[in-house]
């Protein structure tokens, strides 16, 4: 529970954004602080060193003048040495080339021999600086300074000065820096909070707009043009929304078409039976006639319902294709055989041509239905004494079924609509021959399910050609 809430908290873009801004701001602030302080410290110590060296230089010259390295008795030199050790709050040692201490500001080492390595090395002309900066009591700068005359080393000065002022200045600066840093941190956090709040507000607006649409308060396209990203999101959403709308419209149209189509036979049945009922002594002849009509209307209703069921079943993706390896030639023959009686009845010549045996992976039932519907249309929308030709052909990847007829054809501009549900070019003729206007919708649906294509071309009064192209291997 708590973990979930914590997880949700960090999942928020706003929180992450805030954290990133805060982190960047805080690290920048900390880095700058340490850089400035360290830099100050280094500079201050350097200045102290320079000062000491200059002083040691002057002192060295005085010691040479007073011949202090030969005879360490000059009062003037001793006064200067004491003065300097006082100024730097430290200690000064004078060593001659034999490494004997000639003077110690603390008076301890006079006359003893130096064992310190840095002092020995200074006799080779090496100048050395050593810093120890710990705290106010122990922080020092130690300098070993060789004193030369005409290129000869005459002795060395060892001086230790306190850097206490630097350390105490550092302490003051650190306190100040802490205070400033605290203010800056608060400012950064505040700024990060405001920034993340403002920058992410457009996303809230998107959510609100989408919720409004979901709740039905609005169906306007949403527009949050603040950022490229919000534009992309809202653009995608609007496209989805208009697709949903289009789908909704087409469903509504379908429902109203269905109701209309189902009502037509019922109306006829109602009229027929009412007429009979209103004539108590109608002749048997009339009863038979009317009942025959009623029976036909019921058949029609039945066909419409059957076609609708086929469509709806196929619409559901849950009903997958039942793919098997099928001999297309044989299957087409079987379908055509079933249609021969009506062709004969209408005096239409029905033939099939094939260049080779075709085996393909299709749903047998659906494929039969495709051929059935196309050939049935070709027979029914034909003329007395006309012909229907079915041609099969294949290349390695696709096979085609071409159904041509010498029928009534249809105007070019109708071709775009013939796959629509309930669409009929000539309503009365379709009705006469028992059409529902659903046949070609079912055909196209089956073809699409097979990842194939269907194409029609027609000339009014001359004939129509339907070509179906399906893949040989189903994938
Ligand atoms: N071979 C064809 N020749 C002329 N018109 C056709 C042909 N096939 C289909 N049509 C036209 O397309 C319409 C839709 O066909 P279809 O969906 O099978 O419905 P139905 O056959 O039930 O009317 C038909 O009503 C008809 O007007
Ligand atoms: Mg049909």
Each residue's pLDDT tens digit, 237-284: 999 999 998 888 888 888 888 888 888 889 999 999 999 999 988 899
Q: CA-to-CA distance for 49 and 44, rounded, in angstroms?
A: 9
Q: Return the pLDDT at 432.
A: 74
Instruction: Say how many Å lie between the CA of residue 438 and the centre of ligand 1.
Output: 9
- For ligand 2, the distance from its centroid to the CA atom of residue 254, given in whole angstroms, is 18
Nearest ligand to the C-alpha of residue 389?
1
Ligand nearest to the CA of 466: 1
CATH of the domain at 108: 3.30.450.20
Q: Is 464 in the pocket of ligand 1 (CB under 6 A)?
A: yes
Question: Residue 425 CA: which ligand is closest?
Answer: 1
- Which residue puts its alpha carbon closest to atom 8 of ligand 1? 377
Question: Which of 313, 331, 364 is the endpoint of a domain?
Answer: 313
**Statement: residue 1 has pLDDT above 80:** no
Kindly report the three-state secondary structure assignment for every residue of the chain: CHHHHHHHHHHCHHHHHHHHHHHHHHHHHHHHHHHHHHHHHHHHHHHHHHHHHHHHHHHHHHHHHCCCCCCCCCHHHHHHHHHHHHHCCCEEEEECCCCEEEEECCCCCCCCECCCHHHHHHCCCCCEEEEECCCCCCCEEEEEEEEEECCEEEEEEEEEEECHHHHHHHHHHHHHHHHHHHHHHHHHHHHHHHHHHHHCHHHHHHHHHHHHHHHCCCCCCCCCCCCHHHHHHHHHHHHHHHHHHHHHHHHHHHHHHHHHHHHHHHHHHHHHHHHHHHCCCCCHHHHHHHHHHHHHHHHHHHHHHHHHHHHHHHHCCCCCCCEEEEEHHHHHHHHHHHHHHHHHHCCCEEEEEECCCCEEEEEHHHHHHHHHHHHHHHHHCCCCCCEEEEEEEECCCEEEEEEEECCCCCCHHHCCCCCCCCCCCCHHHHHHCCCCCCHHHHHHHHHHHCCCEEEEEEECCCEEEEEEEEECCCC
433 C-alpha vs ligand 2 centroid, how far in Å? 9
Q: What is the mean pLDDT of residues 65-75?
A: 89
Do 454 and 335 share a structural domain? yes
Same-domain check for residues 374 and 292: no
CB of 60 sitting under 6 A from ligand 1: no
Q: Is the pLDDT of residue 65 over 80?
A: yes
Report which bound ligand comes closest to the CA of 435. Answer: 1
Comparing 191-205, 351-365, 416-430, the range with the smallest average pLDDT is: 416-430
Using a 6 Å cutoff on CB, does residue 408 contact ligand 1? yes
289, 366: one domain:
no
How sure is the predictor about 311, in pLDDT bands with cuts at 50, 70 and 90? Answer: confident
Q: Which domain holds residue 265?
A: 228-313
> Is there a domain that residue 397 lies in?
yes
pLDDT at 317 over 70: no
Domain stops at, among 313, 335, 350: 313
Residue 4 lies in a domain: no
Q: Which ligand is nearest to the CA of 436?
A: 1
Specify if 257 maps to a domain: yes
The residues whose Cβ lies within 5 A of ligand 2, an ion, are 377, 435, 439
CATH of the domain at 285: 1.10.287.130
Q: How confident is the model at residue 421 (pLDDT cuts 50, 70, 90)?
A: confident
> Which carries the bigger pLDDT value, residue 131 or residue 455?
455
pTM: 0.55
- What pLDDT is recorded for position 29? 92
Q: Do 324 and 262 belong together in one domain? A: no
111 Cα: distance to centroid of ligand 2 (angstroms): 129
* 145 within a domain of the structure (yes/no): yes
Pick the atom of ligand 1 nearest to 423's CA: 14
pLDDT the model gives residue 310? 81
pLDDT of res. 134: 66
Q: Which is more confident, 366 or 126?
A: 366
Instruction: Please report whether residue 178 resides in a domain.
Output: no
> Do 286 and 352 reside in the same domain of the chain?
no
pLDDT at residue 246, rounded to an integer = 87
Question: What separation in Å is there between the alpha carbon of 64 and the centre of ligand 1?
Answer: 126
Q: Does the pLDDT value for residue 350 go beyond 90? A: yes
The confidence score (pLDDT) of residue 274 equals 93
Mean pLDDT over all residues of the chain?
Answer: 90
Mean pLDDT in residue range 197-223: 90
- Residue owning the nearest CA to atom 4 of ligand 1: 409
Could you tell me if 331 and 283 lie in one domain? no
Same-domain check for residues 163 and 250:
no
Which among 10, 15, 6, 11 is positioned nearest to 196, based on CA atoms?
15
Residue 39 shares a structural domain with residue 137 = yes
**Residue 370 and residue 258 share a domain:** no
Residues 240 and 122 in one domain: no
pLDDT of residue 261: 83
Q: 285 and 332 share a domain?
A: no
Same domain assignment for residues 141 and 104: yes
Residue 310, ligand 1, Cβ within 6 A? no
Task: Flag whether 44 is in a domain.
Answer: yes
Give me the percent of the chain exceeding a pLDDT of 70: 99
In short, whether 157's Cβ falls inside 6 Å of ligand 1 is: no
For the segment 410-415, the average pLDDT, to the nearest whole number, is: 92
Q: Give the pLDDT confidence score for residue 335 in this predicted structure.
A: 94
User: How many angstroms does the Cα of residue 379 sit away from the middle of ligand 2?
Assistant: 10
Last residue of some domain: 281, 313, 345? 313
Asked if the model's pLDDT at residue 318 lies above 60, the reply is no
CATH number (domain holding residue 414): 3.30.565.10
Residue 428 domain-assigned? yes
Distance 464 CA to ligand 2 centre (A): 13
Tally of domains within the chain? 3
Mean pLDDT of 356-369: 93
Task: Tell which atom from ligand 1 comes closest to the C-alpha of 408.
Answer: 4
């Amino acid at each position: 529970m708590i973990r979930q809430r914590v997880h949700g908290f960090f999942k928020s873009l706003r929180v992450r954004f805030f954290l990133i801004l805060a982190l960047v701001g805080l690290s920048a602030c900390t880095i700058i602080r340490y850089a400035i302080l360290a830099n100050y410290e280094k500079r201050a110590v350097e200045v102290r060193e320079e000062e000491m060296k200059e002083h040691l230089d002057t002192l060295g010259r005085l010691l040479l003048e007073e011949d202090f390295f030969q005879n360490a008795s000059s009062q003037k030199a001793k006064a200067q040495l004491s003065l300097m050790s006082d100024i730097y709050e430290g200690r000064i040692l004078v060593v001659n080339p034999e490494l004997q201490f000639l003077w110690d500001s603390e008076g301890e080492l006079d006359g003893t021999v130096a064992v310190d390595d840095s002092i020995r090395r200074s006799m080779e002309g090496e100048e050395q600086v050593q810093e120890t900066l710990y705290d106010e009591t122990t922080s020092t700068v130690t300098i070993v300074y060789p004193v030369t005359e005409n290129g000869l080393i005459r002795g060395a000065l060892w001086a230790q000065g306190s850097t206490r002022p630097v350390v105490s200045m550092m302490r003051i600066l650190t306190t100040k820096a802490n205070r400033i840093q605290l203010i800056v941190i608060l400012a950064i956090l505040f700024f990060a909070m405001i920034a993340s709040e403002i920058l992410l507000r457009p996303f809230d607006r998107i959510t609100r707009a989408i919720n409004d649409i979901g709740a039905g308060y609005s169906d306007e396209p949403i527009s949050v043009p603040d950022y490229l990203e919000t534009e992309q999101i809202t653009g995608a959403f609007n496209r989805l929304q208009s697709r949903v709308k289009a789908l909704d419209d087409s469903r509504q149209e379908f429902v109203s078409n269905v109701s209309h189509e189902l009502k037509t036979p019922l109306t006829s049945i109602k009229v027929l039976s009412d007429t009979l009922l209103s004539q108590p002594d109608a002749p048997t002849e009339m009863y038979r006639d009317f009942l025959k009509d009623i029976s036909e209307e019921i058949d029609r209703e039945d066909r419409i319902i059957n076609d609708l069921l086929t469509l709806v079943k196929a619409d559901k993706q849950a009903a997958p294709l039942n793919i098997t390896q099928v001999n297309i030639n044989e299957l087409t023959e079987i379908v055509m055989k079933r249609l021969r009686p009506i062709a004969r009845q209408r005096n239409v010549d029905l033939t099939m041509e094939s260049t080779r045996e075709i085996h393909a992976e299709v749903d047998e039932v659906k494929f039969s239905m495709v051929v059935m519907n196309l050939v049935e249309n070709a027979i029914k929308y034909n003329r007395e004494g006309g012909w229907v030709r079915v041609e099969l052909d294949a290349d390695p990847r696709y096979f085609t079924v071409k159904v041509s007829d010498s029928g009534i054809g249809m105007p070019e501009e109708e071709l775009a609509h013939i796959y629509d549900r309930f669409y009929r070019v000539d309503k009365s003729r379709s009705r006469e021959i028992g059409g529902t206007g659903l046949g070609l919708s079912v055909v196209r649906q089956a073809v699409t399910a097979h990842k194939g294509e269907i194409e029609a071309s027609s000339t009014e009064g001359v004939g129509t050609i339907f070509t179906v192209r399906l893949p040989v291997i189903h994938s």
